[in-house]
Structure 1
Amino acid sequence: MSILEKTAAAPKVDMPLIENRFALRRKIASTALADIYWADDLYTPTQGEKDHLMLLILATPSIISLPGFAKAWSAVMSRPAPPAAAYPTITDWGNAETHYWFSCPQTQGSLLSEYLHELDKHKLTPDQALQMTAAISHALNNVQAGAFGYFEPGATLHLEASYVLLNAPLVKVMHLLLRQQTGVRAPLALHSPWLSPSVAIGDLPVTEDDSFSLASLYQMLVGQQLPYGQESTLTALAHGTSATIYPKFKTETRELLSQALSLQRNQRPENPEALIKGLGRKNHRKLLLPLAVLAAVGVVVYASYHLVSKFNGLLNEPTTTTQTATSANPATPEAPKPPAQVNKTDQVTPATDTLSLVNETTLPTPEPLTTSASSTVTPNTDEVTVPPTAPQAITQAELATATPATTSTTATNTPSATETNPETTAATNPEASSTTTVAQQTPVAETNPSNGATDVTPLILKATAAFNTNQNTGNTETLNLLRQVWSIDRQNPNARALLNQVIAQQQQQTESHLNLTRLTEAKQSLAQTDDLIREFNLTDRIEEQVRLENQIEIHEREAKEAAELIQQAQAALKRGNLSKEDGADNASAHLNKLMFMLPNHPKGRELLNELVQMRQTQIKRDLERNRLTRAGSALEETSRLIRKYRLTSQTKAQNSLEQDYRQAIEVQQAQTAPSQTPDTEAETNLVVTEQETPEQPVMIVPPPVEGERYVTPNDDLTVLNPQPPTTEPAIEQVVIPEVTVQNPEPAPRPVDARPIRRPQPAPRPRSEEIEIEGGPAQVEVPEQTSPPVSIQPTIIEQTIEQTQPIVTQTEELPAEVALPAPPATAIDAGIINNQGILDAQIITTPLTEEEIPDSERK
């Protein structure tokens, strides 16, 4: 009885209304995330007085109280439902006060928890339990990519060939909520014997948690007991309870299940597929054992059949007599035919061999008669009859009364249709030829139609040999032989096992076509498998058949979506919308989505190559127009596409463009460097030369040597250590080294310095000029704008007044800068003006002896 029938038969109970719409009739399950009810939808009109029953799923208070649940609920439920067969069909949803609910129209099937309860002591075999566990694992993967985490039989609807996970919407809400939580996590405790402890306390589920839930289900299906009993896994963890494994499992299976049922994640198999594969490998020997035993029995029976036939042939050595007889038709000798089997109905073939005499001495076997040696007799010749024995007479009397329909020869595809019975030959054809040939008695056990195993064993062996031979070419011959066996014995276990192998092989071919995205061939192979299942009424592989049908639907949907993405990408390429810079509808976005869904799609890779080529053309054009920023960003994008999708055909062109881009960057840097160098030097370096600053005052005070004079502003000339003048002329050298001033700033004025005045230079009268003669002397280049400077005998000071700024400098230099004193410059002679300064500008040639004043002569 289904859930709907039980609910309809149950009396109505006054229960609260949900949003004044759903009248709760019966609570059918209570799980960690949801409570599941049968409810009457009062808003939906119904015919007569019958209730409109629906499934109503209410979220439990433990998850409603989590922070942000309402926002996550609205975000998930407002999205379109995923196209998955295991996802429930939601007709309506909402929230009222403390109730978050959604309704489903599924009224068929029963909950998996009730199915487990009905099994009671009728446990499933390990193979059946493994198939059901694998089907549920496929359902989990179909609904939620990655880990599901919250599988419970009470929230799983069990249909004939599929499963519906009623708590799937709430699972998506929990995944979204747990990903958004940061910082301190809200406390959560979900009590269920099916959930991993990590999931029960609010951790984000991983695939190891699904391995735990499915291992619990497998043990429940086989052993009818949960690993931790009816208490929750959190309670078991707190009490330190260890898992209880079903004792009848094999040692290898027990070890694998004990790992999968561990309360620690790191000890479990990494995903449900690994668990199912391990369980199937542990039961592999048990699966092959019945087939091996049946094959051995078949071989023994077949060998015994041939040995018995040969032994009977040796016991009943054929006797030959040559007896002339007349017949209406001349006797035509035929080659002896091999013995075969008789079908269930008694069939008699026409006489082809003559009957031998009973108790006659054995004679050598005569040579086969030829047409020329056969005697020709007339029909009126007297016949010679052979008196049969008592059993033969009874048999002949019975067969003589048989109708022609029962004594006619029936042709079949097996060699048994050509077998003849020498006892029935004479009875059915009294006018047959009396020429006797070798006749062999057939044992009664061989012609007994009740012995079905002996009849079908050779056919099964032939079908097995054909299956092993034609695994890659088809199973037509195998199926023809199995149909013959099926017509004889439908309950033969060998035939059913071989049919299951044929169906499994075709399902593997279907999956291979799906992996190669050959949808047409996959659908054809699946249809052939479905026809075989219907023809032979085999349900052992029905779960795998349903899974393949779901996969084909998914592949068809993906193929349709891929075709749409390819059309959009081609249209974007024609419009020139290549990247996100060209808008949201660009070829790069469509192709990235396509390759994420189908990584090896050939048309997608072709369009990716075309996209990269078009982008490289744009890069080349940008480099020619010196748009280096755009070219650099485009180069980075194309490099990422080439590395991500392994577009090796575009690598050479990409390397060439990258080299051109680097060269363009170097050229641009070289062009900007000269324009920046003068500014930098003007800001940091100050070079003072005689040509650049001809009007700047320079005062040179050499160190005191013998015979030198010091010139002061007061025209005070003092001779120190007078020595006779040298006759060698002084080498004229004017050396003004470059002086570098870093970050020039106005020099602070000394505290004891006198105010600087800028007097106009007075005219230099010739009469007041004082000529001197001698060696090195002080030299000062006067400037009209130069201020007077006090000079000490042992201190060198140099003042440079910047009259105009450097051309490339935006800020003016300070008026006065203190620079290190350059070395003294030796000159031949000079004129001292009325200010006591030696003027060297007007001296072009050294003074002669007559031109030197007397006061200056030694």
Structure 2
Amino acid sequence: MPFSHRPSLDAQTVQTLPTLQERYALRRCMADTALGKLYWAQDLKQTQGNGEQTNVLVFTLLPALAQNPVFEQAFGHVLHGYQKPTPGMPHIIDDGKTANGLRWIIIRNSGGMLLTERLAELDDRGMPVPEALELLDSLSNAIANQRPDGIFGYLEPDTVLLGDKLPCLLTSPVAAALRATYNSTPNERSRQTLHSGYISPEVLLGDTPTTADDTFSIASLAYHLLQGEAPFGKQSALEATVRNLSPTSIRKLRPEAWAVLRQGLDLKRANRHKNPTALLRTLQRKQQKKLLLPLAALVAAGAVAMTTYQLLSSRDNQPTNPSETAVTGVTATPSTVASSQPPTDSAALVGETSLPPALDQDSVQAQADKLAAETAANTRAEAERLAAATAATAQAELAADNDLSTLQDNAADAIRKGNLFSTDSAQPAAVDYLRKAIALNADDTKTQQLLAQLINDQHTEAEALLSAGKLDEASTLLGTADRLITEFTFADGLKRQVSLETEVEQAKRKQALTQETSVTAPPDSTPPAIAADTPSSSTTPSPLAIDDDARQYLERAQRAISFGNLNTGDDRGESAVAYLSTLLEKTPDQPDALKLLEKVATLQQDNALAHLRKRDTDKARTALNDSQALIGKYKLDGLVEEQIALEKRYRETLAMGVFVPGKEIPEPTTASKAVPAKATAKPALAPPETENPEAAAAAATPAPAAVISAPVEEIRVPADIPVQDITPVPATTELPPIQLDAPPPTPQPAPLPPPPANNVTFEVPVTDADNAAANPNGNTFTPDVPNLMELPLDTIKDLPPATNQ
């Protein structure tokens, strides 16, 4: 118990740990949690009654949390609610931040031990079920008391301090501040990815916690308490999700109770119980049938003890005052008193209350014995009723077990005889017996073994038909096996089912191809390629033939990858995953196949990343599910970290909102439409058939700079004005852009030849009337030299200085 006494320290540990604020000396790191580290420390400025320094607890936050300004603001507001002692809550007595940015809080040491140390004391047998459920109930109540909504989300055994009263959740203020941060910034993308085997995968990725996440944490702790080890070992819940791990069953629990706990351990939030209370209540209800008989015996023993106590107390505590009418534990009614008392001559006056007559000792004893006998009879009847109910329940369970055993024996006998299916209800077959057995107890081990044997026989017979070339019969048999797998949700036979279905489809395609390419061949001839791909059932293939088969599967898988058929095939062949899974079914741990599978998973992750960049979350989710299935099935550990990073980015993309393809982006505001003076957009040419070419040319001219306030005037270029670098362009090609702020062209000694006919040039005579009509404000000038280009005055800027020639 590290918090109830001073731990032994060595000099090296004391020297390596710092002292906070020159007051709190860190002595030992007690736990490394998902949100920070927990230390046992000593307050150098405060002593206890024995003269030693006061022991305190120090929690240092993750650096990523301390560097988040939104979290720091929420954390400052939350700490005020924990500065007063509250049962089940940590009492914060100081907090601060070091020069290097380390955020810390000081928690008063209330004594006790961490739940981690209690778990370390357990062996592989775990904790008894009643004791474990009692501890889990107290943890559930502590979570329900969390402010403000009864949600914690970050429960770990390293952060639970077990004391004399309620357990204390030491990281409550950090968890509350983190929830407030996520609620205030729902679209924040820089959420911290955590690592823990007891926190749900959604919270580890940065989702806002819900009560279903607390259900996962309570279920994980329940598994550890009952089994003696964590549900996913040393793997975090996020890694377990990527690898598709599942915990082993707990034998001490009834099958119904284990199914309840397994639901609470589901790695998907939607499949769990809504809150920890619902999980624990259902778990207790499913498990209490096993404890019903001892409970009834305890009730009966308690009833007998109560009867004995009443009899003894009625004899030992007889009243000494004759006027008393009450016996210990028994109250005499007026009718009984009247019937037992002798008649009297004295009468009370009208309206005056008379004193009750005194009873003699024999009457009191007789009444007490009578009431004690009635109490004993009632208690005995209640005990007999409970015992009868218990016996009936036990007899019903025994009858159900006998019926289950009978059904299992009949199913096994039918499987040995080959009577698997029957259409006559009067003559049931193996499937009929198994259906009834599963209805009685779906989790019975023997029933599951019989079901596996039935489906395995179907697969074995389908393989024999496939080897014999009877593809239609094999396909029909596989269809029946598929219906059984679907009906009984038997996932163990799904892998072999898919492999056999793939082989049948490939064989059908080969058979169809052979019939098309060998029309002139004899009916009994078999092409060499087909004979090589179809092994005989009577001969064992040689190692060379196995290598040839592996090479063919690998080549087909590579071809499928080049086609982009990773998970789905087309008319060119099956998918790469289908070829490789079939090869690994025949030759497990084939290195080339595993390399190609890793390549396929990497391509799927690349596809998911490409869809996330386009904000297409639906396709990204499909690609992530495909890569996750390969990573978990074939243990591609090298891709786990990348898969976790993509899962986090997927949630960040969801928080940003789903992008709808084809949706128009809203136009920018007027202030954002300003373009630089040197426009680079190309003006569109007006088609030759346009009736108003001047209007079309004006519409095709790019907009001037935002500083131009006058209306844009049409640029008129007469035919006799030379223009530099004019090259003939086709009528369907756009003209180069015209820059208004460029310096005027330098006159050439000799004019260039006239432009071709397809060059768009409009020759308009320049007159004063046109100037007045085009610009009524008089913002033009009349050139002395004829046929010069007219421009508005406010468009002429940054002209070169005039030079005297």
TM-score of the two chains, using structure 1 as the length reference: 0.35
Q: Which has the higher helix share?
A: 2
